[in-house]
Amino acid sequence: MTPFTTKTLEEALTAKLMLNFGKTPEEATDQEMMKASALVLRDVMAIRGVETNKQTRREQKKQVHYLSLEFLMGRSLMKNAYNLNVLPQLREALDHLGFKAADIFELEPDAGLGNGGLGRLAACYLDSMTTLEIPATGYSICYELGIFKQKIVEGQQVELPDNWKDLGAAWLLPKPEEAQTVHFGGTLREFWADGHLHTVNENATAVLAVPCDMVVAGYDTNHVNTLRLWDARATKPVDMSLFSRGEYLKAAEEEAMAETIAKVLYPEDNHYEGKSLRLKQQYFFVSATVQSIATKHLDTYGTLKNFHEKNVIQINDTHPALVVPELMRIFIDEAGMNWDEAWDITTKSVAYTNHTVLAEALERWPQSLMETLLPRIWQIIQEISARWQAKVENFYHDPAKTQRMAIIWGGEVRMANLCIAGGMAVNGVSGLHSEILKKDVFKDACGMEPQKFQNVTNGIDHRRWLSEINPGLDSLIRDLTGGDDYLMHPLALRKLDDYADDKAVLERLAEIKHQNKVAFANHAKRSRGVILNPDAIFDVQVKRLHEYKRQLLNVLHIITLYQKLQDNPNAITQPHTFLFGAKAAPGYAVAKRIIQLINSLADQIDHDPICKDKLQVVFLENYRVSLAEHLMPASEVSQQISTAGKEASGTGNMKFMMNGALTIGTLDGANVEMHDVLGDENMFLFGLHADEVEHLKREGYVPQRLYNRDETLRRCLDALRNGFRDGVRYEDLYQRLLFGAGGSPADEYLLLADYQAYCQAEKRMAETYADQEKWNRMSLHNIARSGIFAADRAVAEYADHIWHVPHK
């Protein structure tokens, strides 16, 4: 299975440097060696990919098409070397050729193709689909800049372009011969011919979608899958007559317009131009993908009538929802099917994963924008909407339900309802989340079509997020479980439970964690000049910055700890370091203020001698996959403190658990299932439950009452108003919590309602940490019971219950 020995890999790297860069290893730079390493592995994967595709076609296998506007792949060199089983050989070969392997790996930029959990999940699933030998392709946009690079300047987030493609393009295989043309705008003309009504779109603007393929290796298999990334190009060449007249900008206008589509992930959409660009991105990506799938299917089978038997399209969140009308367009306009036949095939081909209960993420598009930008798609959506509405009315005879379930209503197109109408399955991503979808968010749709609604709890790539990034722990697991069986059968981790009372094992586990903390402290010092104390509790909250994830609750507790230290310098005996990492969406003002507050507090504590070796707060700038890979093995406390009922699943919580960190959390998202396998005794639960949250809001929640009767809370909140040593006051956050602001109710996410319970949970955690044997036992149980959260399990559930495809 291993394609290289150390010697043959050295030869391949040397040859690649000469062929591609005209240099010997002695002359090559680290950047050139990084690219050469990528190209050598890419060659192996590309050859295997050709074989995989041939076999898929020959055996006419059903294929999975996973559509996601985000694929947060991180770095690929180490991962691909690991999956190809050549990581030790690559390290040795690089060392023999005079390079430091660690420097080469660290040089690779993260492929900036996502924003957070959604994109990271897609990357994990692609790895598992490949490892389980499911013929699958991921599809997204080849963003030039992707998610921004975060810089903290005077405590505030500044967004910089993240041009990852300079070195990252080494993984991409452009396939211009498979380009597709996508049309925007134009006018529709209808005519009868051959007994059919034909619709053609005239005078539309055409954009070329050029695929750049990233091959993905599975673990311990020759099977290779592809991530197809669409790049946008103008269809017409530059107008040379304009160029000759000196009208340079006008000459390149169309090219510039086309290329903005693939320029940046999620353009800000609080203005018309941003909304228009976002919708263009979504249709560009969907249309290119569906055309590509249909073309390949026709090449193999000569008809689209069996499309649903050989393809399943998984929509990851509502961003690719236009798959439904685009499939209908191709079946009707290009394959000449009638409506009923086209609809039957479409609704047997598409499945929808919902990732959130937040209203702002259940996308709605202005009808006027859809009409002008996508006239034919708008026509088809109108017909889908009318037929769906009639179906709902016939079933319920209730105008209120018709309004809630409508696809077009009040001048808006509701994408989640379109997905439900046009899909064969709808799934949530944790047990609690799926129940909320069935009983609340999509209650009426579930009442009408209960068979569509399923649950697949998220999972993570445990080979990457444990074995690859935490070699010390991997070594311990192999010793205790008798080999590497857990890499393909993650439930084998359960054997670790047998060692819960083995002091030698617990001490070894503690030593591994300590070494990981030392390694992270060295990394933090080297990369950002931060001095961390490896003997402190590493208490970590890293995730996207959103109010419902309640980073602000964490901050309020730290302020309370700081105030306790002011009153009594001996209040903290065990050093405690709070680590934050988060990017705020560029237009999300409150989230950006919370980042500034974290940095104000960090600065205050840093300059107060009372806090030395007792309390520290660090904001980790530009949090991303590669930083997470350094951080997860070193983390001891995992903060999963969202308002109950708001977090769909979470996957960071699973990575922490798998690396032995203990969770302080609410019963929300996958924390509920973690609690099912861990019990109260192996995590620190606190706070209101989802039903209690709803009850409190119905009753009428008044946070000022808590402020008035709780002196500790009052003093903590007053600190926001009074400000910090950097001169910044946070009156706006104070007002938001107590009185509401900008149309949001006071303390919308119930931070103050959960504040005391959270402080108590942190106190219980610190007391438990003092008993290291007990702590390490809890840590071992967390690792032992984390196997259920492997992506292999989740993908197998999709394969068995939704996609109906065989797997390894």
Catalytically active residues are 355, 543-544, 549, 651, 655
Q: Let me know: does 68 contact 119? Beta carbons within 8 Å.
A: yes
Q: Which residues is 93 bridged to in the sheet?
A: none
Rounded Cα–Cα distance for residues 375 and 368 (Å): 10
Strands 425-428 and 350-353: parallel
User: How far apart (Å, rounded) are the C-alpha atoms in residues 709 and 84?
Assistant: 61
Residue 190 tokens, joined: 């209808």
Greatest Cα-to-Cα distance within the chain, rounded to the nearest angstrom: 88
At 549, phi and psi to the nearest 5?
-80, -10
Q: Which long-range contacts (CB under 8 A, 24 or more apart) does 763-767 make?
A: 764/684, 765/537, 765/637, 765/662, 765/664, 765/684, 766/537, 766/574, 766/576
Give residue 227's region: left, alpha or beta (phi > 0; psi -120 to 50): beta
Tell which residue, 10, 3, 129, 124, has the closest CA to residue 64: 129
Paired tokens of 305: 């009538």
Residue type, 729: R
DSSP class of residue 430 equals S
Provide the CB-side half-sphere exposure for 794 (13 A, CA).
29
Residues 6 or more apart from 617 whose CB is under 8 A from it? 558, 577, 578, 580, 598, 601, 602, 605, 606
Beta-carbon count within 10 A of 238 CB: 13
CA 161 to each of CA 145, 148, 258, 275: distance values in angstroms, whole numbers, following the listed order? 6, 5, 19, 20
Phi, psi of 67 (to 5 degrees): -100, 125
Report the C-alpha gap between 280 and 374 in whole angstroms.
9
Q: Report the C-alpha gap between 68 and 802 in whole angstroms.
A: 17
Q: What whole-number distance in Å separates Cα of residue 765 and Cα of residue 38?
A: 44
Q: How far apart are CA 653 and CA 665, in angstroms?
A: 9
Query: Is-contact 422 315, C-beta < 8 A?
Result: no
Cα separation of 392 and 35, whole Å? 56
| DSSP letter string, 329-359 | HIIIIIT---HHHHHHHHTTTEEEE-----G
Are the C-beta atoms of residues 297 and 304 closer than 8 Å to each other?
A: yes
Cα separation, 595 vs 582, in Å, equals: 8
CA distance 384 to 345: 14
Q: DSSP secondary structure string, 650-674?
A: -SHHHHHHHTTPEEEE-S-TTHHHH
CA distance from start to end of the chain:
16
Closest CA to 185 of 377, 378, 373: 373
Describe the crossing of helices 471-481 and 503-528 by its angle, rounded to 10 degrees: 160
**Using CA atoms, how far apart are residues 129 and 678, in angstroms rounded to an integer?**
28
d(CA 752, CA 702): 10
What kind and span of H or E run contains 297?
helix 272-301
Cα 778 from Cα 684, distance rounded (Å)? 11
- For 436, the token pair is 């909320």
Distance CA 338, CA 346 (A): 12
**Alpha-carbon distance values, 712 to 192, 477, 716, 765 (Å):** 76, 44, 6, 20
Chain position carrying tokens 């507050």: 597
